[in-house]
């Protein structure tokens, strides 16, 4: 195969891409490299940090599971059906991405807070969202589920209707077609959306800190360490969060890539 000559456009694109990669990578890498190992060990040894780390990842995982249970059906509906108000639904799904997350936290507090529209009646049956893991999960779900629905919708839209129709012709029911044909064909896109939702939940601060300040997730702890102890302490907690998220994210991406290759 003849090698295409390098053009000025290619050089510009390469330089622009390299600058963007450096812009993203340098602050993260410097945070990790610039944190003394002994300080990172002290932070990791603190019980409060370990609890916060566990809470952050588990709450985000729980929000993702809930998001899958309600987001995948909506994604499939948006990909397969044309109905009145569809554009409005898609706009609402994308709204949490553009709304400032502190504003999202206030909105959630007004609905799910102690005196909120749903929070007050739900608290009578023992379901509370303020200063509670349920509130953390709810905030992560709110800001992260648009990534899952959007990726799922795009993945389902790529599945050929003929494949589904062939399964129906062969006697499969609608649920069988979905779980045995449609979902396996679209699962990689759905999984990518779920991964992005999970990652977004881990990094959430604004909505969580307003709706459920306690127990503290890592982004809240980073802010508190910065306020109380300065950049070095906050940097150590940030480095820990970056390292753990990087490892989990890389493993998940590698698994998705290998599955696609197979």
What gap in Å lies between CA 112 and CA 65, rounded to an integer?
20
- Look over the chain and give the mean of its residue pLDDT values, rounded to a whole number: 90
What gap in Å lies between CA 242 and CA 202, rounded to an integer?
10
Is pLDDT at 30 greater than 70 in this prediction? yes
Confidence of residue 259 (pLDDT cuts 50, 70, 90): low
Confidence of residue 262 (pLDDT cuts 50, 70, 90): low
State pLDDT tens for residues 183-208.
999 999 999 999 999 999 998 999 99
What gap in Å lies between CA 76 and CA 253, rounded to an integer?
23
pLDDT at site 1: 53
Lowest mean per-residue pLDDT among 166-175, 176-185, 212-221, 234-243: 166-175
Q: Is residue 18 part of a domain?
A: no
Q: Is residue 17 part of a domain?
A: no
State pLDDT tens for residues 197-240.
999 999 899 999 999 988 999 999 999 999 988 888 899 999 98
The CATH number of residue 136's host domain is 1.10.3720.10
Q: Is residue 136 part of a domain?
A: yes
Mean predicted confidence (pLDDT) in 106-131: 91
Q: Is residue 57 part of a domain?
A: yes
Lowest mean per-residue pLDDT among 14-18, 62-66, 253-257: 253-257
Q: Is residue 115 part of a domain?
A: yes
- Tokens (6 digits) for 199: 């990652």
Q: Is residue 233 part of a domain?
A: yes
Kindly report the pTM of this predicted structure. 0.89
- What is the separation of C-alpha 76 from the centre of its chain, rounded to a whole number of angstroms? 19
Q: Is residue 10 part of a domain?
A: no
pLDDT at site 261: 59
Lowest mean per-residue pLDDT among 59-63, 68-72, 95-99: 95-99
State pLDDT tens for residues 130-160.
989 999 999 999 999 999 999 999 999 999 8
- The count of domains in the chain is 1
Is pLDDT at 78 greater than 60 in this prediction? yes
Q: Is residue 91 part of a domain?
A: yes
pLDDT at site 72: 96
Mean predicted confidence (pLDDT) in 111-126: 91
Which structural domain, as residue segments, surrounds residue 249? 36-261
């Amino acid at each position: 195969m003849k090698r295409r000559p390098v053009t000025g456009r290619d050089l510009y694109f390469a330089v622009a891409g390299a600058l963007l990669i450096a812009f993203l990578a340098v602050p993260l890498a410097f945070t990790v490299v610039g944190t003394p190992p002994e300080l990172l060990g002290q932070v990791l040894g603190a019980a409060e940090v370990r609890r916060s780390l566990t809470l952050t990842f588990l709450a985000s995982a729980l929000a993702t599971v809930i998001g899958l249970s309600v987001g995948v059906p909506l994604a499939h509906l948006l990909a397969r059906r044309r109905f009145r108000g569809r554009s409005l639904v898609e706009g609402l799904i994308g709204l949490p991405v553009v709304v400032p997350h502190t504003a999202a936290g206030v909105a959630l507090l007004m609905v799910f807070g102690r005196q909120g529209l749903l929070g007050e009646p739900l608290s009578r049956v023992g379901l509370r969202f303020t200063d509670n893991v349920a509130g953390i999960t709810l905030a992560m779900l709110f800001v992260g589920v648009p990534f899952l629905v959007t990726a799922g919708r795009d993945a389902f839209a790529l599945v050929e209707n003929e494949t589904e129709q062939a399964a129906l012709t062969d006697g499969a029911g609608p649920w069988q077609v979905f779980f045995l044909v449609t979902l396996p064909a679209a699962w990689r896109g759905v999984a990518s959306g779920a991964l992005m939702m999970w990652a977004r939940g881990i990094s959430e601060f604004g909505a969580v800190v307003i709706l459920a300040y306690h127990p503290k997730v890592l982004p809240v702890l980073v802010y508190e360490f910065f306020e109380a102890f300065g950049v070095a302490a906050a940097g150590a907690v940030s480095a820990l969060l970056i390292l753990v998220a990087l490892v989990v994210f890389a493993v998940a991406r590698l698994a998705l890539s290998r599955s696609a290759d197979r």
